[in-house]
Amino acid sequence: MYTGKIAFFSRSANAKSPASSTLFWAGDQLTSWDQYDGMRSALSAMLSGGLSGMSMTHSDTGGYTEFAEHVYRMTRTEEMLVRWLEMETFSGTMLRTHPGLLPDLSAQVNTSAVTLKATRLASKLHGMLHPYRSLLMKEAATVGYPLVRYMFLEFPQAENTWSSRDQFMLGHLLLVAPVFTPRSTTRTVYFPLNSTWQHVFTKETIQGQGTNVTVAVPMGTPAVFFRQNQNPLDPMVVVCESVVQNMYEYWKTEQTAAVEDLIEYIKM
């Protein structure tokens, strides 16, 4: 007998599937960065699925399909796993990793201190988002809004949002800009005109001018922005503001610990 405590996810669906499945999955992506069948395509699948009524989605963090034959090689790197973790923390209703098709040749969550730290941070932040995500789930059940949204769903009057494919909204309060290029230290983020945002982790405030802004994206500092000047009495705003503060405090503690570890290492 179903007790409501089991979550299962579906890979294929039709227009009536959201009434029968608790969660949807983006399928088997390549362990690559691209928009054809890699990390970027996973985001496209989740965003497009949201428009089709699949409000709650996720992907295999780090990808799945890979190969290593003769001179041809495509396997998951540590950098890709970290960047996918940063995206899936905010894009996935479920945060789930996968060993991949060639696990012995792929970066895993326990491959190094770097991947372990990134996995710990992602897991903690994803858990901290639970109060906000729960409200979004109730909203999805009531009116069908997806948790992860194309920018144009929140800013339909902003022309550039209709062509935006590499950043997204989590609900109507958090803007997320994942990194889809290896060895990146910056990326451009589009901020709609007459909007104000605060970086969740650096606390930098950005005034939206309807243009792209270059922001720093060091690994371990996801480009996530909290929408400002919203109704302070709105329960969604109250909850999200608390969540954002908790995430910042945890991230700051992690950063401080990393510096202390480095100082101790230098002393050795």
The per-residue pLDDT for 1 is: 47
Domain carrying residue 109: 9-130
Instruction: Supply the DSSP symbol for 10.
Output: E
90 found inside a domain: yes
Residues 231 and 120 grouped into a single domain: no
pLDDT(108) > 80: yes
Q: Give the chain's domain count.
A: 2
Tokens at residue 237, please? 């705003």
**Tens digit of pLDDT for each residue in 145-175?**
999 999 999 999 998 999 999 999 999 999 9
**Tens digit of pLDDT for each residue in 63-77?**
999 999 888 889 999
Tokens at residue 182, please? 């290896």
The per-residue pLDDT for 265 is: 39
Q: Alpha-carbon distance 88 to 226, whole Å?
A: 17
138 found inside a domain: no
Torsion of CA 7, 10, 16, 18, to 10 degrees: 40
Residues 224 and 186 grouped into a single domain: yes
Which of these, 124, 173, 179, 123, lies nearest to 149 by C-alpha position?
A: 173
Q: Which residues contact 150 (CB under 8 A, 6 or more apart)?
A: 47, 50, 51, 161, 164, 168, 169
Residues 120 and 162 grouped into a single domain: no
Phi then psi dihedrals of residue 127, to 5 deg? -65, -40
What's 137-206 look like in SS3?
HHHHHHHCCCCEECHHHHCCCCHHHHHCCCCEEECCCEEECCCCCCCCCEEEEEECCCCEEEECCCCCEE
Q: Are strands 148-149 and 168-170 parallel, antiparallel or unpaired?
A: antiparallel
Residues 162 and 124 grouped into a single domain: no
Give pTM, 2 decimals. Answer: 0.93
229 found inside a domain: yes
How long is the chain? 268
Residues 98 and 195 grouped into a single domain: no
Instruction: Measure Cα distances from 224 to 11, 73, 86, 123, 203 in Å.
Output: 28, 32, 10, 16, 10
Tokens at residue 262, please? 């480095």
268 found inside a domain: no
Instruction: Supply the DSSP symbol for 18.
Output: G
Instruction: Supply the DSSP symbol for 169.
Output: E
Residues 152 and 93 grouped into a single domain: no
pLDDT(8) > 90: no
Rounded to the nearest integer, the mean pLDDT of the chain is 91
Q: Alpha-carbon distance 153 to 147, whole Å?
A: 11
Give me the sheet containing 168-170, strands edge to edge.
148-149, 168-170, 174-176, 224-227, 196-199, 205-207
H or E segment and range at residue 259: helix 235-267
CATH (domain of 32): 3.20.20.80
* Cβ contact 154:6 at 8 Å: no
139 found inside a domain: no
**Tens digit of pLDDT for each residue in 234-262?**
999 999 999 999 999 999 998 876 544 54
Residues 13 and 123 grouped into a single domain: yes
Residues 88 and 176 grouped into a single domain: no
Residues 36 and 96 grouped into a single domain: yes
263 found inside a domain: no
Residues 56 and 124 grouped into a single domain: yes
Residues 80 and 35 grouped into a single domain: yes
The per-residue pLDDT for 9 is: 87
Considering Cα of 86, then 91, then 95, then 101, what sign does the dihedral take?
A: negative
